Amino acid sequence: MKLGAFMMPAHPRHRSIRDGHFHDLDTLEYLDRIGFEEAWIGEHYMMPSEPCPSPDLLIAQAFLKTKRIKLAPGAFMLPFHHPAELAHRISWLDHISEGRLMVGIGASGTNLDLEMFNIDHKSGAHREMTAESIAIMTRFWESEGPFEHRGKYWTVRRPADQMDKCSGYHLKPFQQPYPPIGVTGLSASSATLALAGANGWIPISFCFTPQYLHTHWAAVERGALEAGRAAPSRDMWRVSRPFFVADTDKEAWRRSVGGEMGRYFREDYLPMLAGNNALGLLKHHPDVPDSDVTMEYVAQHCWIVGSAETVRQRIEDMQAQSGGFGVLHIMCFDHLDDLAATRDSYAALAGIVANDF
């Protein structure tokens, strides 16, 4: 099993945009040094606690400061970008990375972001736009000559080259035909993860309650089967979850629940889920009432916090419940106010994964 990270990136609202950005950059450098395989960076617009609208800017800087870690937007929200423009940006970034780039794609589940771009999410337009966008981008990357795409949302062309005028389509990805593509799923039997199976994309599970984690891989296999693809390898499956490792269970609980992880969930994430009637994503059983989904409930049922031995056992349990996965993602949070202990936690988890899995 390999180790990676997912960064929203999340920051307390008093943190300046600049300070948060450089903290994220420093964190990626640190993860590279201690052997993390990869890190995925989120994209949001109307979420003050997750203030990164352009993950590729952070990633471009991080590629210049890291040596081996693979990086990915996690994800580009395709309805917000013109596919011809984004296809070129991804190609350019892939060359900067010399093949250390992966690309997450999504439709966005943040209603205010979608409303800001005047996208009718209630009709499912954002999902249709995502499917059309990735089809256009991959056509650019795979094309050998001119084409025209007239779709529901975009009309794009690859014009004929005019090399006598020093003009023509030239910017294809470093990785051929294009970087690995990944998508995330949260709910049981996720339809998004079925799309991963159908298209050969990387499936990424946001796992807060491992009771339904096995349904995620079943969805991937179902998607592959329905598309006529061979069953994918579990090695490509990523599972993301909040972690904190300390010398004792009590210390890990104090630093996570009483620290920035706890504040973020208490003040930002739980109210956001409650406002979207989505607290069910955190419940270990559907009969749990919303009023019971408190910070302490989340720490007990959704996070993996504790001593190295406790964390090791919880990972083993998650592997057994899921049937096995290839890459474990730790969800990263702002930790400028508890830097040493949090970095020690990351290093401890890296040791557990390297030595025991």
Q: What is the pLDDT of residues 311-328, one digit of tens each?
A: 999 999 999 999 999 999
- Supply the pLDDT for residue 207: 84
Mean pLDDT value across residues 58-64: 98
- Beta-carbon neighbour count of residue 230 at 10 Å? 8
Please state, in angstroms and rounded to a whole number, the distance separating the CA atoms of residues 54 and 107.
15
Contacts of 109 (CB under 8 A, 6+ apart): none
Cβ–Cβ under 8 Å, residues 114 and 165: no
Q: If you average pLDDT over residues 24-42, what whole number do you get?
A: 98
- Mean local confidence (pLDDT), 270-297: 93
Q: What confidence score (pLDDT) does residue 343 get?
A: 98
Give residues with Cβ within 8 angstroms of 243, minimum separation 6: 303, 304, 305, 311, 330, 331, 345, 349
Closest to 244 (Cα-Cα) out of 221, 227, 260: 260
Residue 231 pLDDT: 86
Indicate the pairing of strand 147-150 with strand 76-77. Answer: unpaired
Predicted TM-score of the model (pTM): 0.96
User: Residue 212 has what pLDDT?
Assistant: 85
Confidence of residue 46 (pLDDT cuts 50, 70, 90): very high
State both tokens at 54. 């352009």
C-alpha distances (whole Å) from 76 to each of 17, 52, 353 are 20, 11, 29
Q: Are 70 and 29 in contact (CB under 8 A)?
A: no
Average pLDDT, the chain: 96
For residue 338, what pLDDT band results from cuts at 50, 70 and 90? very high
CA–CA distance, 145 with 350 (Å, rounded to integer): 46
Digit-coded pLDDT (tens) for 183-231: 999 888 899 999 999 999 999 999 888 888 999 999 999 999 999 999 8
- Residue 19 and residue 270 in contact, taking contact as beta carbons nearer than 8 Å: no
Overall average pLDDT of the 152-167 stretch: 97
Distance CA 280, CA 286 (A): 7
